[in-house]
């Protein structure tokens, strides 16, 4: 099947399954199946974009009609006409009404765990012809910066995620204050002036403090002081939960605290800042989110999330959980990565040994491979710690047909061909021959890999890859003396399978490079 036909087939199927076709999903299927499509990924992606646009303009009946031309059934005897086969199934979801969100905190760079959350939210929205919101939950001025906002935005764009203009929680602080005051007036929140260590002990012992008895007027007055003059650490606003609850999250958690430092976006306009437990349920409801998809680590906070929305009279948002993604032997969390950077054990957030999006991009991992990798785990809550090799294998499948080949020699070991005359050698840029030729100036002296150097002994035969056959006639500390021999020579065993084939780099035109290896 021609590339255009293959693209159309998968675009139609994707549109039928999910309401509209998704460029990345279609491209992933096509590139994975067609070597021809992988020869020029940029051209293929452009073709995919055009065909997806055409398919998305078709009605449901037209899509079904076109699918039948490819032998794809669009219904079964027992199916209902309105039923769709979603790859991601959400509870109580309706077509064209689903709204998901990805709410990064701009206190670090995105990593592969974030990519899983991002793609799951994106694909879920697409599955129901809904939309994905990007919201920066920027309510901790001590750790957040514009640098991280820009980095996250660039990563999201590079991953191919389409979304409306992002919002910033810090732009809605006045609204959040109003909901905080509403919670206090209703008796569902109070100002606590207990030292942190005292409250920590009370929570452990399931005991309430005297601050719980303060009336609403007193609590509102303290909240006003928190927003104006009270020093950091002198008071917090707590949710009036259940101090006897077995769920420790429900034991009067903090909702607002004083952080009296400049905010990267708001300056010194605010000093009482809401935390995640207040921001998430309030902003999700206000922004029209229907399904809050988040990792299993927040599971204990689900009860608080629902209680907050009920206490504030906000629309209930469905919570959908999934397992966190770890990578065997590789740090994933921002905290771990930041420590490695601070300890100078890695070179920065884009160090290729890491699994930040910036690092994966620098390493040559394609967005399509990342998408296929993270979506392969679906919405399962079963914890998984796959090896990085799985992602690398997916990436290789995409780039192998289009990656030009070059020779590499580790160390500074030299192979000298006695009596050789300078000549230009044409080599295939790719084993398939589809990427043209590259030329090397063969001058008679070449760098070879130190492993090849150590293995070759006087009298041994070897083949310089795609060039010529040689026999070792002398060996010094760093130089192998060789002479050219015929391609088929029983004495030198050039034609035998065990003959060593080695990569070679002309000494005069060699480019020094550094290879970083994970340890």
pLDDT along the chain (519 residues), means of 10: 86 80 80 79 88 89 86 50 55 96 96 97 94 98 97 96 94 99 98 96 96 98 98 98 97 98 98 98 98 95 97 97 94 91 93 96 95 93 91 94 93 95 94 90 96 96 95 96 75 61 95 84
3-state helix, strand, coil in the chain (%, to 5): 40, 20, 45
H helix intervals, 264-399: 276-286, 302-312, 334-342, 357-363, 367-375, 388-399
Give the per-residue pLDDT at 1. Answer: 64
Place of tokens 């794809």: 72
Give the pLDDT confidence score for residue 75 in this predicted structure: 52
Q: What is the CA radius of gyration of the chain?
A: 31
Question: Angle at which helices 173-185 and 216-228 pack, to 10 degrees?
Answer: 160
Tens-place pLDDT, residues 81-135: 233 333 789 999 999 999 999 999 999 999 999 999 999 999 999 999 999 999 9
* Assigned token pair, 294: 């988040």
Q: Does the pTM exceed 0.85?
A: no
For residue 14, the model assigns a pLDDT of: 81
Choice among 9, 20, 66, 105 that is catalytic:
105
Catalytic residue among 234, 324, 353, 438: 324
Q: What is the DSSP string of 108-123?
A: S--BHHHHHHHHHHHH
Catalytic residue at 238? no
Residue in 38, 301, 334, 366 annotated catalytic: 334
User: Could you say which DSSP state residue 423 is in?
Assistant: E
Q: Is 372 a catalytic site residue? A: no
Q: How far is CA 167 from each of CA 105, 256, 264, 280, rounded to the nearest angstrom?
A: 12, 21, 15, 13
Cα three-residue angle 420-422-428, rounded to 5 degrees: 105
Q: How many other β-carbons are positioned within 10 Å of the β-carbon of residue 210? A: 9
| pLDDT tens sequence across 246-290 | 999 999 999 999 999 999 999 999 999 999 999 999 999 999 999
Dist CA 340 CA 357 (whole Å): 16
Give phi and psi for 344, each to the nearest 5.
60, 30
Q: Which residues contact 389 (CB under 8 A, 6 or more apart)?
A: none
Q: What integer pLDDT is reported at residue 97 of this predicted model?
A: 96
41, containing H or E segment: helix 41-56
334 catalytic, yes or no?
yes
Burial of 498 (0-12, 13-18, 19+ CB in 10 A): exposed
- The pLDDT score that the predictor gives to residue 65 is 86
């Amino acid at each position: 099947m021609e590339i255009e036909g293959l693209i159309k087939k998968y675009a139609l199927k994707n549109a039928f399954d999910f309401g509209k076709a998704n460029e990345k999903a279609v491209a992933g299927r096509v590139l994975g199946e067609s070597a021809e499509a992988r020869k020029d990924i940029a051209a293929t992606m452009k073709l995919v974009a055009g065909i997806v646009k055409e398919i998305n303009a078709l009605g449901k009946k037209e899509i079904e009609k076109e699918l039948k031309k490819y032998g794809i059934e669009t219904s079964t005897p027992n199916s209902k006409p309105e039923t769709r086969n979603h790859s991601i199934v959400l509870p109580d979801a309706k077509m064209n009404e689903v709204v998901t969100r990805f709410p990064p905190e701009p206190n670090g760079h995105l990593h592969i765990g974030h990519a899983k959350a991002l793609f799951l939210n994106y694909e879920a929205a697409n599955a129901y012809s809904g939309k994905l919101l990007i919201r920066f939950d920027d309510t901790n001025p001590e750790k957040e910066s514009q640098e991280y906002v820009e980095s996250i935005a660039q990563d999201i764009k590079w991953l191919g995620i389409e979304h409306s203009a992002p919002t910033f929680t810090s732009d809605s602080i006045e609204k959040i204050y109003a909901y905080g005051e509403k919670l206090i007036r209703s008796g569902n929140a109070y100002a606590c002036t207990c030292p942190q260590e005292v409250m920590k002990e009370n929570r452990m012992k399931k005991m309430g403090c005297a601050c719980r008895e303060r009336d609403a007027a007193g609590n509102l007055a303290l909240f006003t002081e928190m927003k104006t003059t009270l020093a950091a650490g002198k008071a917090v606003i707590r949710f009036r939960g259940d101090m006897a609850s077995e769920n420790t999250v429900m034991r009067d958690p903090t909702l607002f605290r004083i952080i009296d430092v400049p905010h990267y976006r708001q300056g010194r306009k605010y000093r009482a800042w809401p935390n995640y437990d207040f921001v998430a349920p309030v902003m999700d409801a206000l922004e029209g989110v229907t399904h809050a998809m988040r990792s299993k680590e927040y599971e204990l906070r689900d009860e608080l999330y629902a209680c907050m929305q009920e206490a504030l009279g906000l629309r209930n948002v469905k919570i959908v959980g999934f397992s966190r993604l770890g990578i065997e032997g590789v740090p994933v969390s921002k905290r771990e990565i930041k420590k490695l950077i601070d300890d100078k054990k890695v070179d920065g957030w884009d160090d290729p040994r890491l699994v930040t999006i910036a690092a994966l991009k620098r390493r040559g991992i394609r967005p399509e491979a990342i998408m296929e990798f993270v979506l392969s785990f679906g919405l399962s809550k079963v914890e998984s710690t796959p090896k990085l090799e799985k992602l690398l294998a997916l990436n290789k499948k995409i780039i192998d047909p289009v990656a030009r080949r070059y020779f590499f020699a580790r160390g500074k070991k030299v192979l000298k061909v006695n009596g050789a005359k300078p000549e230009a050698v044409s080599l295939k840029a790719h084993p398939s021959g589809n990427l043209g030729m590259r030329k090397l100036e063969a001058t008679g002296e070449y760098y070879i890999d130190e492993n090849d150097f150590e293995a070759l002994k006087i009298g041994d035969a070897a083949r310089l890859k795609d060039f010529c056959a040689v026999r070792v006639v002398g060996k010094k500390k760093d130089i192998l003396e060789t002479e050219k021999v015929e391609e088929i020579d029983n004495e030198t065993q050039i034609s035998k399978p065990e003959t060593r084939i080695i990569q070679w780099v002309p000494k005069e035109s060699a480019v020094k490079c550094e290879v970083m290896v994970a340890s």
